[in-house]
Amino acid sequence: MKLLKNIRTKVWSCVAIALLAYLLATVATSISNIRINDSLTSLEEIHFPLALKGDRIFTLFNEQTKNFEGGLITGEADELVKAREHHEEITSLFNDMVRTASRYDMNFYSGLLTLRDAYEDYFSLAADQYSQMSRGADLFKHSQPLLRIGKARERLLASFKQITGQLTETVVNEIKNNKLRAANTSRFLHLLFIAVLLIVTLAINLLANSQLITPLKNLKEMIDNFARGKTVEKPQNCDKGDEICCLALSFWDMTEDLKKITVSRNYLDNIINYMSDSLLVLSPTLAISRINQSALNLLSYEEEELISQPATYIFSEYGAGATIQTIFDELLQGKSITNLEMMLRTRNNMLIPVLFSGTTFYNTAGTVEGVICLARDIRELKGNLDNRESMSNFDPLTHLPNRNLLHDRLSHTLRLAKRSRKLVALLLIDLNLSSAMLETEEETAKLLLQEAAKRFLQSVRETDTVARLKRDQFAIILTNLNDQQDAKLVAGKIMKDISLPFHIAGSEDISLSIGMAFFPSDGSDDSTLLRNADTALAEAKKQGATLTVFTTVQSRIGQHE
Amino acid sequence: MRKPLKIFVMLLLMLSCAHGSCLAAEIILVVNHDNTLAGITARAAELIFLSKKTEWTQGEHIHVVVNNDPEAYAAFCREILRKTPLQYLLYRKKMLFNGSGIPPLVMDTDEEVKNFIAATRDAIGFISKDSLDPRVKQLVIL
């Protein structure tokens, strides 16, 4: 029903149905009232006056008869005068009645005329005869006319009775009819009410359903479909004035827009998930907030196991653990890192070398929203997979970083130091173990080396690196130094720690030789520093279990204990 | 002693005749010889003359004759109708006025009455006892 456009017209049509029913009731009552009014008017103007007059004529006629009788029997002329007076009144009443009847009923009118004429005849005869008789005539001699008059009177009386009876009955009937009409109207109105109630309820329900409830249900269905991810159909033939349809149309537009956004989001998600490199997103607190499928596959983890874990859970330093923290601190400060060699720890605690790139990204307010980390698997690039030594950057015995890692660490440390303008010290330490022991008592030597490594680690800070270069040679990188004195203090401590007994069966006493080189004074790249430190060490060994700083070698000044 | 006794006996006789059953006084009802009736009750006679009973036993219309002779009329009224003459007159006038029934014929003398009754089979009238002659039959009051 496209007649009804907007909600207002729809509601009005519902109301209109009810109003229509009301109108019907009003009309029915009005008609009934008009009929009753007409009836009562005719009662008032015709029937009741007729009945009254008829009754009055009857009464007067009886009076007149009594007068005649009296006059005749007693011979009293007064009685006849009274009779005549009554006659006047009777005649006028008759005339009124005739006039009224002429407007109302022709049959009754003619009947009334006949009666009036009969009465007139009777009266003139009676008046005449009786007045004669009253003058002293012998009644019994004139019995014939008297009898005739008497009989005429009887007939008149009967007619009067009949007519007054008729008139009274008419009045009573009219009243009864009106009562009946009122009762009928009342009954009709009751039935109408029930019928209207049913029809209106039905009609309004149908109308409301088709015009209001169904469109709203369709809208709800659209919303539900959209929520469940099913297709949403476009509403057809929407009139501009139809509010519900316009609402549905707006909703459909919204779903279409959302679809586009979802498509691009899905597109992006697919890109992220299918790319071959590992992608992680870290939160500002360096917890893993997003990790792609390649990363999960590489590390053999499920997504739930890694989300919200700290980055250090899987990122492993290419050296001691602290470096990771510094790397990420740098990132959070806004520096991007490209192609840094790093290790990722798998679920099986295996380390995989990766090329790490990281960038911080910001929200519109300018605060750090997270860190994007890209990691490329470089195991193949690293060459021989079977060679664990080269794969690993660590010395198997002491688990300290080996030469390879030391180089990287050193480079990295120097790079950082260049920026931070702090000193870096490279210490090369020789344990001076006899070759005899190293060859014959391997077990003891191993224990010794392990213990030495432990003591070295205890002597340095977290940010420093301890590495094992070869048989009994270690390297220590001291970072973030303010001056050379600090380094020398550390070196002194190390020598003291080493001099403490080892409690290992068959061990010799150890005497250290330490060669130290500083950045930037003794070199600004790793190979130079190493070379110079090595030189210092050689000198120290020559001197016999001492600490020698490269510069002093150079200047041959200041030999320290 | 004998005079009071005679008077006393006469009084007794008069008293015993006080009821209308002894209509010894002056009035007799008369009908035509062809009339089969020999006597009627006083009540019937009353009804006839008041025009309330209008037919003989076989249904013939009763022709009522009223005797206007003053003595007869008065006696009749007194003895049969038990009304005053005036009352009966008024009654008859009223009947005439109302136009109901057939009014009695009025005759002035016993002779007229007897003539009429002799000539009319269904007539009834009243005359003084002395006037009774064979032309009419006496109707005994039962």
Q: How many CA atoms lie within 13 A of B92 on its CB side?
A: 25
Look at residue B87 and tell me whether its pLDDT is greater than 60: yes
In a domain, A214, yes or no: no
Look at residue B23 and tell me whether its pLDDT is greater than 50: no
Q: A282 is written with which tokens?
A: 């870290």
- A324 and A406, same structural domain? no
In a domain, A221, yes or no: no
Residue carrying the six token digits 């729809």? A10
d(CA A43, CA B90): 46
Look at residue A544 and tell me whether its pLDDT is greater than 80: no
Strand partners, B125: B30
Angle at B9 between CA B7 and CA B12, to 5 degrees: 110
Strand partners, B67: B107
For residue B135, the distance in angstroms to the closest alpha carbon of chain A comes to 27
Q: A513 is written with which tokens?
A: 């030789």
Please give the C-alpha separations between residue B16 and each of A75, A115, A296, A541, in angstroms, as whole numbers. 42, 60, 163, 208
Q: Does A172 touch chain B (CB under 8 A)?
A: no
Please give the C-alpha separations between residue A11 and each of A20, A218, A351, B101, in angstroms, as whole numbers. 14, 19, 74, 87
Query: For chain A, how many residues are written?
Result: 561
Look at residue A93 and tell me whether its pLDDT is greater than 90: yes
Tell me if A474 sits within 8 A of A450, measured CB to CB: no
Confidence class for position A62, pLDDT limits 50, 70, 90: very high
Q: What pLDDT score does A122 carry? A: 93
Shortest CB distance from A72 goes to which of B92, B97, B106?
B97
| Cβ–Cβ below 8 Å for B99 and A148 | yes
In a domain, A211, yes or no: no
- A510 and A441, same structural domain? yes
- A155 and A53, same structural domain? yes
Nearest Cα to Cα of residue A324 among A368, A373, A262, A369: A373
Shortest CB distance from A73 goes to which of B90, B100, B103?
B90
In a domain, A193, yes or no: yes
Tell me if B100 sits within 8 A of B14, measured CB to CB: no
| Cβ–Cβ below 8 Å for B100 and A150 | yes
Q: Spell out the residues 6+ positions from residue A455 whose beta carbon is closer than 8 angstroms to its own.
A: A494, A497, A498, A500
Please give the C-alpha separations between residue B37 and each of A446, B62, B124, in angstroms, as whole numbers. 188, 13, 11
| CATH assignment at residue A515 | 3.30.70.270
Q: What percent of chain A has pLDDT over 70?
A: 92
The complex's ipTM works out to 0.72
Q: List, in order of start, the domains of chain B with CATH numbers.
A: 21-141 (3.40.190.10)
Cα Rg of chain B (Å, integer): 16
Mean pLDDT of the residues in chain B: 83
Write out the DSSP string of A217-244.
HHHHHHHHHHHHT---PPPPS--TT-HH
Q: What pLDDT score does B20 carry? A: 46
Contacts of B103 in chain A (CB under 8 A): 140, 143, 147
Shortest CB distance from B99 goes to which of A139, A140, A147?
A147
Show the beta-strand stretches assigned E in A346-494. 351-362, 368-377, 423-430, 465-470, 473-481
Q: Which residue has the higher pLDDT, A404 or B53?
A: B53
Q: Does B89 touch chain A (CB under 8 A)?
A: no
Handedness of CA A65, A66, A72, A77 (dihedral sign): negative
Look at residue A463 and tell me whether its pLDDT is greater than 60: yes
Q: DSSP secondary-structure letter at A271?
A: H
Look at residue A251 and tell me whether its pLDDT is greater than 50: yes
Tell me if A468 sits within 8 A of A397, measured CB to CB: yes
Q: What pLDDT score does A559 carry? A: 45
- A321 and A299, same structural domain? yes
| Cβ–Cβ below 8 Å for A69 and B103 | no
| Cβ–Cβ below 8 Å for A73 and B94 | yes
Q: Does A154 touch chain B (CB under 8 A)?
A: yes
Structural domain boundaries, residue A403:
396-561
pLDDT in tens, A175-225: 998 999 899 889 988 998 898 888 878 888 888 888 788 888 888 988 998
- A407 and A526, same structural domain? yes
Instruction: Say which range, A136-140, A483-487, B138-142, has the weakest mean pLDDT.
Output: A136-140
In a domain, A226, yes or no: no
Q: Does B106 touch chain A (CB under 8 A)?
A: yes
- The whole-number average pLDDT for the span A252-267 is 85
- A498 and A351, same structural domain? no
Mean pLDDT of the residues in chain A: 84
- A431 and A412, same structural domain? yes
Q: Does B85 touch chain A (CB under 8 A)?
A: no
Residue A195's identity, in one-letter code, is A
For chain A, how many structural domains are there in total?
Answer: 4
For chain A, first and last CA: distance in Å? 108
For residue B47, the distance in angstroms to the closest alpha carbon of chain A comes to 20
Look at residue A89 and tell me whether its pLDDT is greater than 90: yes
Look at residue A560 and tell me whether its pLDDT is greater than 60: no
| Cβ–Cβ below 8 Å for B103 and A147 | yes
d(CA A282, CA A369): 9
pLDDT in tens, A310-342: 888 888 766 544 477 788 888 888 888 888 888
- A284 and A269, same structural domain? no
Handedness of CA A389, A391, A395, A399 (dihedral sign): negative
Strand partners, A351: A345
Q: What pLDDT score does A244 carry? A: 85
Angle at A547 between CA A541 and CA A549, to 5 degrees: 105
Q: What percent of chain B has pLDDT over 70?
A: 89
Q: DSSP secondary-structure letter at A386?
A: S
Tell me if A175 sits within 8 A of A76, measured CB to CB: no
Tell me if A495 sits within 8 A of A514, measured CB to CB: yes
| CATH assignment at residue A298 | 3.30.450.20
- A503 and A428, same structural domain? yes
Look at residue A419 and tell me whether its pLDDT is greater than 70: yes
Pick from A274, A296, A325: which residue ends a domain? A274
Q: Does B96 touch chain A (CB under 8 A)?
A: yes
Q: Spell out the residues 6+ positions from residue A236 whose beta carbon is closer than 8 angstroms to its own.
A: none
In a domain, A218, yes or no: no
- Whether the ω angle into residue A520 lies within 30 degrees of 0, i.e. cis, is yes
Instruction: Say which range, A90-94, A320-324, A423-427, A501-505, has the weakest mean pLDDT.
Output: A320-324
| Cβ–Cβ below 8 Å for B92 and A140 | yes
